[in-house]
Structure 1
Amino acid sequence: MRRVCLTLPTDRACAATLRAVAEEAAYGARHFGVEVHLLVLDSSGPAALAAHREAVAALPPEPGVVVHHFDEDEQRDFLRRAVARSGVATPDRVLDLMLPSGVSYGACTNRAFLIAEALGCASVHRRDSDSRYQYLDGKPVFPIHHELTALGRRAADVAGAVSRSRLDPALADRQVAMVGGSFVGEMSVDVAEIRALDPLVYDDLVGLTVPAGYPEVWRRNLVDEAFRGAGTAAFTGDLSTLTTVSPTRVDMCNVAFARGVYGRVPLPPATDTIGSDYFLLHLVHGARLPGVLHNRHIVNFHTPERRSDAGFLAYQLRLTKFLLAVPYLRAVYAGAAAAGDGLLDGDGLLRTSGVAALVRGGTGIDPVENGERFDVVERSYRKLGGRYAAAADVLAARRKRLLDEARRDMADFALLLDAWAPLVRAGEEDSPSTKGSTA
């Protein structure tokens, strides 16, 4: 039986989301005849962790669903075994990149990728703790429907199962590598307050995500659409498109990859950097791998913690680090787009070594550019005043460290890329224990 991994990484209380994702797992098993491994990777504090364990224990048994709930100690035990067996040259550093002490959006998903390999899964389907499903006629609208319909199949065979095809016919024999949708509701990046306080400052900050030299009309559209997902329109019926999916149309709370993607290339393990986990969306697009874009968008919301004083400061740091990472990531994305088919091996799979070469090449950008980007962030926050000015003081005190980290994060990513193949092989030799199995 085909196995798939539906994963929910979390570091906050989300028992209601956990139960909802378990319903999606049951839907997938019931409608597609697959074995769904629901993988909860839990970095929460003691109270939330205990609530999640209680929620897992209370899940009703569902045929074809197996639940794994791992706290950080259990994740670390698995990783230590995998790293030790892999024979990588710097085991302690690799372990730290897979499970760092700080928040890492890429690392938590990389752990899901590695555990999915150990479980023998053919795909990984990711959801987020700060999201909910839309409903139609009183029933939840599950993205896994489109994901299991298309992932891993020849694009030509999927064409009849989607609403429309906009795929280059030359790519029809390639397998569908990614299926994704977006979100509706609150912005994925919490910058709405900045826009309300000063639209010009908002334009300066968000404009840092747009490549230099874009025509003004394009730049304006990208700034207007940034972080807004699919807007607020409610789901009324399915619309799915076979295509090379634009990374701007997919959110990481609503995406699935075939193992031919994540089994070859992990995500950047940068800490405290929003957006670092979107790397594979860009890579799949640049390599011209087929995908399906659908409209079963997930409802995004912001947790109260993000709007607390401590949460606000942490989030501004993560946003700043993303803006400093953009030039490095953009260099890799441009290289991937230029390489196109050259990123694939004879079997049509991503070449890890080719991606690693692009990442290493991307570390060579002029450091002056990032210094100027930092100046824009600091100047913008000071214009906004209040707690933004206080955040600017904190950022300014960390200026050199943050600029150094942006470059070092890419070097760390290259190191992880070199270690990924032996890590995957080592993970395949292990089988994580099952917590709260409902198979």
Structure 2
Amino acid sequence: MHDIRLIRENPEAFDAGLQRRGLSPMAADLLALDEKRRAVITELQAGQTRRNEASKAIGAAKAAKDEATAQALMAEVATLKTRMPELEEEERTTEAALNEALAAIPNLPLADVPEGPDEDDNELVAAHGTQPTFTFAIKEHDVIGPALGLDFETGAALAGARFTLVRGAAARLNRALGQFGLDVLTRDHGYEEVVPPLMVRDEAMFGTGQLPKFAEDLFQTTDGRWLIPTSEVSLTNIVREKILSADELPLRFTALTPCFRSEAGAAGRDTRGFIRQHQFEKAEMVSIVPPDQSEAEHERMTAAAEDVLTRLGLPFRRMKLCTGDMGFSAARTYDLEVWLPGQGRYREISSCSTCTDFQARRMNARYRGEDGKPAFVHTLNGSGLVVGRMMVAILENYQQEDGSVAIPDALQPYLRGLNRLEPAI
């Protein structure tokens, strides 16, 4: 959410940020709405003041037996009583119009974010690990997976497209990956484990930027709640409508939860396999920090996600997303892309974003600094471990010629020492 006062103070900078996002200037239209709202407020306040003054003057006029003046004042008060509700309704309408316009505008990119319309303009920051070599024909995960328990056909029969039944060896790997991710994030990177609600109210979705713009990408229950697309929603809204003390910060949360996405904007993309599902599991990271710590926290969070990939021995690279490829609430995003030999390319497996104070304004989440005055916190979120995509990466990078899949050393304790997943006979 943007602060209309900051737009009022520097409309040129606001429009310049929108232009980098590929959007047309909006400051003039927003300021016109703001001016209309402020004019209504001014008239309303003046009317309230005059009504109070006139009411007092009526008593004085009657005491002085000045009936003509009293009658004129009473007529004025009657007119004001009629006009005041109209002004109050106009104030509500103009306030709602301004807030609706502001709520639809994405966060502005930080200065170091590369400019460009799509993923072709993302910037390579660093590459890690060595791509594996194979002496046999490489297979994609959707060919390897069924013999290990990725049952695409039954999942589709039960629930439709983009649902998978996971069983047997694949189910064990699924469980191991989730526990491994939580352990790394809590034991080694200081995140507090949380078990959050999987359904939330409108206010929570609005706070993190999913509503109102992206309702079609969400699932809603019959009682009006929303299934979370990521536990970022629940975790970030922990501080909604709160004023924290400085010594409570930073807050770092993680949760391993199912995530639910309708993928309405992804029609035709990744229709095969396990990469883009309506239901999947993820260990999410969320940080709540003072503004002067958000830059360092973004690096810290991304390094935690990189640590997960490094421990699993997977080759990956860090990309800084360009202005046209960032999410709605992000001011800067690093994507970690893992090498998938079956596809012969890197694919996103983690996304870590700093949202500056954009979400905090929508949630009214603040803290008291050294001066004792409330100020908005900064929020960050990132994928610590997306279970489904991580499984895809392991199946493809650790595939063996006989159809089995080797287990990375770091995962073997979570599988009781098992070092290989064998295909079902």
**Range of TM-score over shorter length:** under 0.3
TM-score, with length taken from structure 1: 0.22
Structure (1/2) with the larger strand percentage: 2
* RCO comparison, higher one (Cα < 8 Å, 6+): 1
- Higher-helix-fraction structure: 1
For the pair shown, which has the larger CA radius of gyration, 1 or 2? 2
TM-score calculated relative to the size of structure 2? 0.23
